Structure formats: C-alpha cells, structure tokens
Structure 1
Amino acid sequence: MSDAASISTLDEIHVLLKELPGPSREAAKAAEERQTQLTKPLGALGRLEELAIWLAAWQGKKKPQVERPFTAVFAGNHGIAAKGVSAYPTEVTKQMVANFIHGGAAVNQLCGLADSDLRVYELALDEPTADFSEQPAMEEEDFVRAIAYGMMAVEEGIDVLAVGEMGIGNTTSAAAICTALYGGDAADWVGRGTGVDDETLALKTKLINQAVELHKPTFADDPFQILRCVGGLELAAIVGAVIAARLARTPVILDGYTCTAAAAVLHAIDDRLLDHCVVGHQSVEPGHQALMANIGKEPLLDFNMRLGEGSGAVLAMQILKAACACHNGMATFAEAGVSGPA
C-alpha cells in the first residue's frame, strides 16, 4: 500500500488516523431496505442480517460479497519468552511458520474450506524484541517499520481480511497491553497461553505487573507507546494491517485474545477506529471477554479455541459468507409471490 512506504514516525501515523474513511451510509441504507423485502420476518436471521448490512456499508455495495477473502498471519518472537513464560521454546515460531508454508497447520485447512488466500509474514524471527520486563520491547523506529510492514500486507481487491498471529510469548504481551490499557492487576488479564502450569502462570503475572510499572511514565497519553513498550513486532504489524484495511474500506475479522489486544490500541486512540472490524471468536484466555467488553465487540463464535494463527477468524469467515448468501440469494416477497407483513 502506497501510504505505508512514506511512513517513518508515529506522528505521521497519528495524522493518517485522522484521515481514515467511514462506512458508506448509502450502501448501508440500501442493504437495510433489502432486508425488509426478503422472505422472512424482519430480524429473523439475527446477526446474519446485521453482518450483511455491516459488510455492505464498508464495501460500499448493496449486495456485499466474500468472494476474495484474504488471511494474513504475522509472526514474531518476544524477548520476554527467555524468562520462561511459555510452555514452548521460541524456535517453535519459526518451525510453525514453515508448517504454515507447507500447508500443515489448522489455519491452512480452514483457509481451504473458506477459499481464502493465506500469506504468512515473518518479522525478524532471529531477532526477538527486547525483554519488556527490563526495557521497552521495541525502539520507535522498529515499531513504526513493523506497522508500515503490516500496512503493505493488505492487497488491493480483497473483500474481507482475516488477521492472525504466531509468536511464542505473545499472550504475555497481550495481557500486558490490556493491563496497561484498562488497569487492574495483571492477574485479571493473564492466562495459560500455550498451557503453562501454575508456577509459570504466577511468573507471567509478576513480570507483567513489573513491566507495566516500569513503563508507565512512557505510556503518557499515546496508546501506541503501550504497544511499543510491551507488545511485539507481529502485533504492531497487525495494527498496520487494520489501518490499511480501513483505508481500503475492507472489513476485518480479528482472531482471538492476542490479535484483539493489539487492535485495542487503536480503539484507545479513537473508539471509531475498529468500526470496520469484528472479532471472529472468543478465546478461552480469561482476559478476552473483558477486553471485548471494553472495545464494544461481541464474538461471532465461542468454540473454546485458543490456538491463534488466525484460526478463529478464518472459521468465522464462513459466517460472513452465510450472511452474504442469505442477503443476496433470498427472494423478495414480490419475487416469490409471498404476501408481506400486514
């Protein structure tokens, strides 16, 4: 995306955020009017109707479509993982990226079912971010570069974007972001991630509290500083992808806890910045439900999933396809010769 190539500072990103487009009111109105004419009681399809109108508004079409969905998975490594906050070593990030490329991961199978293109974006896997319990995870230059990289991942012509992540240690980052954004103790936001034991869970909690206290003076009034200090390169790239999708008026499906935590930084800057996004599923990570309440989102699915890698977002893509199929394919009362409501 051309806007990304020239971005080099956070100030430039803040300027860009003030210029982002909104939904098409005309397309939304046309989609709403069509819903009143379809052969069903108004509201009978519940959220499918709402999703069809939402898609129409952002795509600028009376009849929305999910014919060219795209899934972007961003991968990065976290310095905090060296403290033993995960059940898996950091080498797994690179190994899983290879698995994605060779078609062996869950997200590959789900993308196949959804007819979604899948691309994996590696962010300096051999150079983890700094240990954020001791220093900021990223220097500003690297942070901005990661956001710009994520922006360039959004290709022209796609009609829905699903975003996901891969990175050992990133649920620790997600919990740290939420603690910094919304307050409370880290225990309110931390979960078992890859399945850690009680001792490791306590360690994650301690390190997150330590990190939030350490960086609190830096957070100031800019939520981007929270992401820079306790986030990760792949999380910054997710933010870039969400921004670029907004520029293109492309609807976005966010994956689980980590992905939603990254995007929440945008909501903290302006609560309208995630209006083009839905959350694909509710993770079993305990902080995810509270996070969604804070950003005003309800998940499309709740399947007790906690895999990451975009799996929940791609699964939810089928729901958007169903919404479009009903909205576009159903007959109107006039077409079917069915009497409308009295």
Structure 2
Amino acid sequence: MKLKDQLQQKIDLKTKPTGALGQLERIALQIGSIQNTLTPELKKPAMLVFAGDHGLADAGVSPYPKEVTWQMVMNFCAGGAAINVFCKQNGIDLKVVDSGVDFYFPKDLPVVDCKVAMGTKNMLDEPAMTVEQCREARNLGAELVKAEAAAGCNVIGFGEMGIANTSASSLLMHRFMDLPIEQCTGRGAGMVGEKLDFKTSVLKTVSEKYKPETVEETLATFGGFEIAMMVGAMLEAKKQEMIILVDGFITTAATLTAIQFDASVRENCIFCHASEEQGHQMILEHLDAEPVLSLAMRLGEGSGAAVAYPVIQSAVNFLNQMSSFEDAGVSNKE
C-alpha cells in the first residue's frame, strides 16, 4: 500500500465518522505526505518577514508614504506589530529581513541584512530590478531557508512589508494568470474610489510598457526585492521538503511566481487564510487552494500564517494522538 493510502487509512480509522474533521484531515494527509511518514512532526516553526521598498510608491499608488516601510521594520524590532504578537503566542521564531529597504538600519537592531539595493526602481521609468539583482535576491532567500533547515526547522512561513507591494503583486498575477489588470488590482492599504482608479491606470501603463519573455525577466521587471527573496526562499523550502505556510495576497503572488519556476512547490504549500484583498481569491482558485481560515484579514506581515498555525498543529496532533476504533475498543460502522 502506498504511503498516501496508509495515511488516509490511519485518518479514516480514528474514532470519528469518516471525514468528520474536515479540512484538518486534508492537512494531516498533506503534511504526512510531505514528510513521507505516518507520524509527522512540526519542528521549530519559523517566520521570515522580508521588507523592501518599491520605486513605484513615488507614483502615488499607496496612501502611505514610503517611509512607513522602515518605520514598520522598527516596529517589528520593538515587538509591537501583529506578527510579533502572533508569533510569540504560537511559539514561532520570527526573523525580520532587510531585502531592500530605502533606509540604513542601526547595526544593533535584530534585522537580517540582505539589502540588495535601496529599493526597486520606479517601473514607470525602468524595470523594478535587473535580472542580476533578481537572481541575487532569490539566492539570498534560499540561503536563509537553508540555515533554518540546518537548525532543525521543517515548517516555515513568509511575511512581507513594503509600501506599494500590492501593486507589484497585481502585476505579477496579471502576467502569470493572463487576467486584465483591473481584476488583479485591489485597494491595498486603502486605495478606494478615484484613488483605486488611479492605481489601476498606473499599473496598466506599467504593464503596457514591458514585454518580458521569461519568468525571471517578469519577476525582475514587475516584482520587489522582498517578493523575489520570498520566491527563492520557497524554492529552497521545497528542496528541503519543508512545509510552506502561505500568508495573504503578496505572499500568494510570490508563491504563484515560485510555481512558474518549479510547479512542485505547490505540493508543500498550506494556504493559511483568504485575504480581503481583491485578486487573492482568484489566485487561490487558480492554484486549487482551500485556505485554512477566512477572517477578513488583509494585513500582510505573515499574520494570517501565524494565526493559522495552531490549526495546522491540531491536524498533526489528531493524526498522532487520537485513538483508532480498535485502540479505544469502539465499534466502527459496518
């Protein structure tokens, strides 16, 4: 019997009606399959939050000034953000990574320095980054994940911070899913009404300006340093056979991009929540993904993944600790 069939049998023989634990059963099956065992474990959960600035922010596609990126990184370092609270609550090790923030952080701050440049370029004028910079960002993301795996981590989540990164994500979604930019563009941090129309028109202008041919060129043209770093991190997490906790719209756009490089990345992804951001639901449907939670969140930072973690732990725990009908001496159905 194949391991997947053995896992399903183990799930079905627990003291419950078949399928009664719903999505927890599917998560347990997925994690057991990733780890190739009937007794999976979640070890040393980690969260990497990548921060980077976007030149396109200068075009006014976000209601917040670019300075908010570095200011929020300072808030992460002080322990005051939502991601700090949820990671602390659930025993997740949090690291904040400077992928390309337009600010020099004091050396004594707990920030992992992976700065590729002082933010990406304004896409209205030139591609966001060079192919070489994009490759550097992906390699840096991969190295961080290698280090986490070497330290014993087998479940990793990714978050992000970067003013205007919903714009970059919308452009990547638009290209990789071949959808009109209007369907891919949402309010982000608060662009509604005429402001949303303006944001959409800017992204349309950007899209029409470039015709990248490869996945790498597309990521370099429209992405952000934090997105490129997440892509490299996800590709490496798959190589390490780690469980990948996918957060909201930006992280899912990075996942969509990683899947263009290696389709098998999808097998290791648990999609943690359904963001309120327009476009996220469409990517989830495109990837045939059923999110763990739907809490009307749209914060980013990896917050949805951190909040979902106890549910994912519950899936592993029932598989390992719940009695079977035989163990409990309970009569099963005929």
The answer to whether TM tops 0.5 is: yes
Letter of the 2:172 partner, please give it. Answer: I
Match of 2:173 in 1: 178
Normalised to the residue count of structure 1, the TM-score between the two structures is 0.88
Secondary structure, counterpart of 2:210 in structure 1:
helix
Cα pair 2:235 2:262 within 8 Å, conserved: no
The correspondence for 2:130, drawn from 139, 152, 163, is 139
CA shift digits 1:119-153 (9 cap, x unpaired): 11111212110111221101111110100111112
Shift of 1:26: 5.3
Match of 2:85 in 1: 109
Q: Which runs of 5+ in 1 are unaligned?
A: 1-24
Match of 2:208 in 1: 213
Shift of 1:159: 2.2
Q: Which one is further off, 255-264 or 174-183?
A: 174-183
Shift of 1:42: 1.7
C-alpha distance in 2 between matches for 1:110 and 1:304: 16
| 1:71 paired to 2:47 | yes
| 1:158 paired to 2:153 | yes
Match of 1:263 in 2: 255
C-alpha distance in 1 between matches for 2:268 and 2:94: 20
C-alpha distance in 1 between matches for 2:50 and 2:311: 23
Alignment of structure 1 residues 272-287 onto 2, 5 Å: 272-287=264-279
Secondary structure, counterpart of 1:275 in structure 2:
helix
| 1:198 paired to 2:193 | yes
Letter of the 2:319 partner, please give it. Answer: H
Q: Equivalent pairs: percent with the same residue? A: 36
Shift of 1:163: 0.8
Alignment of structure 1 residues 1-342 onto 2, 5 Å: 27-126=3-102, 127-154=118-145, 155-156=148-149, 157-216=152-211, 218=212, 220=213, 222-342=214-334
Shift of 1:270: 4.7
Shift of 1:272: 3.0
- Cα–Cα, structure 1 residues 184 and 90, in superposed 2: closer, same or farther, change >3 Å? same
CA shift digits 1:25-73 (9 cap, x unpaired): 9543432221122111221111101101111111222112224211111
Match of 1:16 in 2: none
C-alpha distance in 2 between matches for 1:302 and 1:78: 29
- Cα–Cα, structure 1 residues 53 and 67, in superposed 2: closer, same or farther, change >3 Å? same
Q: Which runs of 5+ in 2 are unaligned?
A: 103-117
- Cα–Cα, structure 1 residues 68 and 29, in superposed 2: closer, same or farther, change >3 Å? farther
Shift of 1:228: 0.9
CA shift digits 1:307-327 (9 cap, x unpaired): 000000111111111111111
Shift of 1:202: 1.6
Letter of the 1:70 partner, please give it. Answer: A
C-alpha distance in 2 between matches for 1:269 and 1:67: 27
Letter of the 1:275 partner, please give it. Answer: E
C-alpha distance in 1 between matches for 2:264 and 2:154: 20
